[in-house]
Chains A and B, each alone.
Chain A
Amino acid sequence: MKLSDALSTYISKEILEETSSKIGIKEELLSSGIVDSIGMMRIVRFVEKTYKINVPFEDMTIENFMTIEAISNYVSKKLDKN
């Protein structure tokens, strides 16, 4: 599964518990209130577990986790480095 799809599925299913509506990859997660700060950290935990990467504190920024697209980019970059 594509990174962004996996993220989108996780957020819809686990955080929003809505399977019907899909979140756009450019939709702002935080400022729109889709995800709160606990949700944000659940996403961090999800990507760490799923992709076996470590997200250091300095990377926990709004820029990296603003949208599904941003998260996908961030995770791909991390995976490339490894």
Chain B
Amino acid sequence: MNQPESIYSLTQSQTSIWFGQKLNPKSPLYNVPYAFYIKGEIDEGVFIKAFQEMIKKTNALKTVFVEKEGIPYQKFLEHLDYHIKVIDATNDKLDDFTISDWLQQRSELTFDLNKPLFDSVLIKQEQDVYIWYLNVHHLITDASSSVILFNRLSDIYGELKDTGFTEQKVYSYVDYLAYEKKERERNLDIRDYWDKKVENLKKVPSLYGVKKRNRFTTKSNRVVLTLDSKQTELIHNIANDDDIKSWNKELTLFNIFSTLLFVYLYRVSGQKKLAIGAPIHNRIKNTFKNTAGLFIEIFPLVAEISDADTFNSILKRIKNETNTYLKYAVTGTASATVSRSFNTIFNFINVGFQDFYGFKSNAEWIHPNHNDPAHQIRCHIYDMNDTGELKVVFDINEDVLKVDNVNNITIHFSKIINAFLNNINQPIGLDSMLAPSEKKYYLPQNLEATKSYQSILELFELQASKTPNAIALQCGNETLTFNGLNKKANQLANYLIDAYKIGFGDKVALYNYRSTEYIISLLAVIKTGAAFIPIDANQPKNRVVFMLSNSNASLVIINNNLKSNIEAINYKVFCYNDLEVLLKNQSTKNINRPLRQNYLAYLLYTSGSTGNPKGVLVSQGALSNYLLWAKDYYSITSKSVMPLFTSIGFDLTITSTLLPFISGGRLVVYKESPFGPDMSLFQALGDNYINTIKLTPSHLSFLNDRDLVNSNIHTIIVGGEDFKVALSISIKKAFGNSVQIFNEYGPTEATVGCIVSEFNPAIHKDSSVPIGKPITNMHAYILDEYKNLVPKGVIGTLYLSGSSLANGYLGLNELTKEKFIDNPFVKGLKMYNTGDLARINENGEYEYLGRVDEQVKLRGYRIELTDIESNLNNITGIENCAVVLAESAKIKVAEEDVINCTDCGLPSNYPNTDFDEHGVCHLCNAFKGYKKKVEKYFKTEEELKTILTKNKGENPTYDCLSLLSGGKDSTYILAQLVGMGLKVLAFTLDNGYISEQAIDNVKRIVNKLGVDHVFGTTEHMNEIFIDSLNRHQNVCNGCFKTIYTLSTKIALEKQIPYIVTGLSRGQFFETRLTEELFWDEELDVKKIDDTILEVRKLYHREEDAVKELLDVSIFEEDEVFDKVQFVDFYRYSDVSLEDMLTYLDEKVGWVRPTDTGRSTNCLINQVGIYVHKKEKGYSNYSFPYSWDVRLGHKTRDESLEEINEYIDEVEVKRIMDEIGYEESDAFDNDEKLVAYYTGDASISVKDIKKQLSKQLPDYMLPSNFKHLDEMPLTKNGKIDKKTLRSFNTEQIELETAYVAPRNEVDELIDGVWKEVLRLKKIGINDNFIALGGHSLAAIRVTSRLNEELDMEIPLNKVFNLPTIKEYSDYLEQIILESLG
């Protein structure tokens, strides 16, 4: 029953529409307007009455929406008087509009949600031709509802016309509301099913390359594709195939078209995992079939496309997918989560409108030019039951395709339909989708306007004769005129020819700094007809050697200072400086050797994926094509002054190096700094000679905050990396807007630059500056995986072709064949696969979108790092960013691959371990070298006795305190001490996990030996365990420190001078001794003991849970270490295990506890072992036990047996739970995404995450965000991702930003720290302790540095000055003082 006063909640579908409308209040995005064209003599009076009657019987039309505290409700008006307006348009009077314009305009009105949500007019178009216009808001209608309303009005009209009254029943939408609520509540499991299904589908495809953004417009355009009779017939034929048939014809067509839509979406987005939203009618009950209102819910169809797919293979999967979809498409189970998985709607419509009261009628669904912006493409398939005609209607969001291009969609889709009809078993990507109008982007008209070849040498020599006295080169105070430079180059060229017969076919390496001699050599080599190989002076030696041997260079022209780097190899080498006298006699005349375009101009090495660089072969033709274009495009003239300040081995540098010489301009050379980082850029800016500069965006970003208004620079050419709009804007600003900025794109393989754009802030609004359009004589193609040209907007791989293309890689024929393939579009040309992703934007400009191989796989998801980066870049305050997949910090070795040292048993997965060919570890081998010295460090039981009995009786009560755990070792000690006649106080820490039998042991032993005994306890034990597990991945460290702390306190109170510990000899090497202590020629035991004492002081002052939670004030003063001394019993005794056990059995009555399940007496011990093994891969006992073996206190077998003891994981988890330790999930995930960024350091990571999570699915969110002051750059000025990848987890989590070593001292310390702390990368501001440095590491670091520098730096310095920077400054100061 209709309850007018009641208010009702909204259904899920209504809620999402309500919110959508609220977000876009002025947009008619949810209007559902129809124009019904009726041919017949309508009785207008009856029509008006019928319409009123229809409202009366259709409560959906009487719905209004109200809001209470922000929550929408609906109610149904009891009465609604609506007198439908009738307009007579027979005289064409419709407010001066044509009828269709009027309808369009009227359909775009917006409704007030608090008022009735429909609008209707009857228009008399001409005699006996009427248009019934009905526009209803989607909140109260859907496609079936429109038919229901039409039929109802027709029926009521008929009844009224014929009988004068109507007997139509009332169908209440309220019934559906009740049903929907009930179903929703009882089908929560199905709702979960859907949520789960879309869990990994949060990333909607970028249709036509248009990325997800915060707000899409609601504006959309409609295009119609009507299949011709041939296509229709073929589709029907396919639909009748037994293999393809589904439950009925309608469903079969549904399957076919959704398959085509999936293929289409894949091909316009490149995304393989796709969801499409398909509305389900939901009129499950019979009464609903006649009820108007919003019933539909949208559920996703999901498909994953693979490269091997054919249309048929997808169709088969879709058939099953549709059945699953239908099976779970239960009323009330769709949700907002589910609707976020798609941005395309697939709407299959096969309901038709009848006649109106016997009059022929025709329904037109008017597109209100707006749609829900979340539905970027809506694809409606009309299956006209009567005619069999098939129509595809697309509504496309205008942010995806602008109205000018919107017709392309029908071309693209029909190409897919045709490919499907042609052969359903063919691969889905075989045919190109390109619309004819899109060809122009790839095949520009001006191809014939090819510039003819001119050699750069010809141009230079011409210039030299034209402006002989103009300055061509400037380097410091030295200048050379064009004439002077040309003459010097001629002399050297003549010498090269005379002395070395250099000419065409030769390659001459130029291994040099940026200098005048480099430029002269370069020109000279060109003049001989040979090719040059520029090699940066700062390249690592090995790399240089590789390049020389790989290139088979005929000659190396080298700088004197670099000579020693390649002395070992046999090359023809000469130093330019040595030649001055010889050259004086050479002719200064031009040589006039022709330089043909197929001659090799240079060989340039770029980084290769194999670890060795690969040499790119660039011809004179390619070089000339680039330079001639650049001269023209950048307007390089005699007034141009360019700096040479970037690496000569970087192809970007070619521009500055040669452009001035062919244009009459000037080159200013800035040499590398022999010390520290290259500051040439700042020097060049400071000098202010230059007006044109070429550099990478990362270099450019150094200029960000400078005032450069007075700079002479008017032209900036940027290349080598993605160039952000934000950076270009701020650079423009820095130069007072008086600068032109060009973005040049090009791999070395296509000679420096081949696509270019000029930055224009008015049109370049996205995050990156587009790379623009191809240069003269070059083509750039964007191809899909099947090598089809992709439609405008779609992302694909960029291929290059044309005059600037390199000839391939030297000596790498396979790679050359793979990368340089035949150009399928222009016969006879090659085409280079850049491996870069690109698309053509709205303005026809190419956009660079990152590397194809920036795609990483993380936990099975394919992730484009650039996708994350560009989203990060959109966050205000972030200037530059890079996302990397961080390498695993722990190198996980499969357990079966672990070997154990054949001598000591150390496992091979212990960090930085080397094994020799006999399977002996490096520790054992090194130990052989200082074993003798170590032996001297150990002493005899006699000596022990002397020490302990020296002051015997001084203390009234006890001579010493003995640490007793209840285990065999400490029991043995106690018995021995008693045997020496000492008065002993035994101390046991009750950590809460000592086994009952061990406690019994303790009690029995002290009883039997007749010694006093105390239990130490602390309420903070669990916190100490947790801290120890987090800090050291074991429980023992925390426990030990607690024991030392508590027992020292007791000893101090009771004035006991000695504490006797039961550390094993192996444990000495874990906690006290390091290899470095035995490096001195002569063993100085006192020095070692002093060091150990120093370490102990530091140890007690280290920040950890013990220091925080226990009273450690006694350790503040050094005197405590005099008053209470530690004596390690086993330093003096080397009793064998067997003797010990016999002794214990016979004399003490010690019983091995059986209730720990292990050889220990502590129940929590195995938690430590478990965590250590899981996080580090090996047991925490591996290392100390290996020392026990090495020192002969255990056999290898005994050690391995104990290490491999069974761990009860259930018990481990129980204890973890008990103490409140949370196992980190880092256990299973070795890899994670880490985002580095520069810019505003005050943005909180939480905010960054929040903003990113709006754009990206969870699996694409970086786990860590690290702010850097500066991005680390490669030599060539690009972001150094390799460095970023090598930070380990702890470092990433550190607050400090990475700063590279500044000087030699920094580097020395950095090297030592890296070795000792086992890290790949340490910044100079990173804190030693935060990096995991502890007291033992301090010994190692300090000893090594002392050794290296021959100094005596105190141990505690590394804690007082805990960063490389501070430490280095301190060292430098004392070095200076010592010199002073």
Contacts and interface: CB of A to CB of B under 8 A. Distances in A.
A38 B248 contact: no
Contacts of A36: 247-248, 250
A37 B247 CA distance: 6
A51 to B, nearest CB: 16
A38 B245 contact: no
Q: Which of A17, A42, A60, A62 has the most CB of B within 10 A?
A: A60
Interface residues of B, number: 18
A79 interface: no
Interface residues of A, number: 17
A62 B247 contact: yes
Interface string A41-63: 11011000000000001001010
Given A45-B327, A57-B323, A60-B323, A16 B248 contact: no
A40 interface: yes
Contacts of B327: 41-42, 44-45
A31 to B, nearest CB: 8
B323 A38 contact: no
Nearest to A15: B284
Nearest to B246: A37
Contacts of B284: 38
Contacts of A41: 323, 326-327
B287 to A, nearest CB: 8
A18 B245 CA distance: 29
A60 B248 CA distance: 12
B247 A30 contact: yes
A65 to B, nearest CB: 8
B387 interface: no
B243 to A, nearest CB: 11
Interface string B537-550: 00000000000000
Given A40-B326, A41-B323, A57-B323, A17 B286 contact: yes
A58 B250 CA distance: 20
B823 to A, nearest CB: 45
B285 to A, nearest CB: 6
Contact of B320 (A17, A42, A57): A57
A37 B251 contact: yes
B480 to A, nearest CB: 80
Interface string B281-295: 100111100000000
A38 B248 CA distance: 11
A16 to B, nearest CB: 7
B247 A40 contact: yes
A30 to B, nearest CB: 6
B286 A38 contact: no
Q: Which of B251, B319, B329 has the most CB of A within 10 A?
A: B251
Contact of A37 (B286, B320, B326): B326
Interface in A1-25: 16-18
A34 B83 CA distance: 40
Contacts of A38: 280-281, 284, 326, 329
Given A17-B286, A60-B323, A37 B248 contact: yes
Q: Which of B281, B320, B326 has the most CB of A within 10 A?
A: B326
Nearest to B250: A37
Interface in A52-81: 57, 60, 62, 65
A17 B247 CA distance: 21
A17 B323 contact: no
A17 B280 contact: no
Nearest to B320: A57
Contacts of B281: 38
A62 B248 CA distance: 9
A29 to B, nearest CB: 9
Contacts of B250: 36-37
Nearest to A44: B327
Nearest to B190: A45
A57 B317 CA distance: 10
Interface in B56-79: none
Contacts of A62: 245, 247
A66 to B, nearest CB: 10
A66 B326 CA distance: 17
Contacts of A37: 246-248, 250-251, 326
Nearest to B286: A17
12 contacts: A30-B248, A36-B250, A37-B246, A37-B250, A40-B247, A40-B326, A41-B323, A41-B326, A45-B327, A60-B323, A62-B245, A65-B247
In the A-B complex, the 10 residue pairs with the closest CB atoms: A41-B326, A57-B320, A41-B327, A37-B247, A37-B251, A40-B247, A17-B286, A38-B326, A60-B323, A45-B327
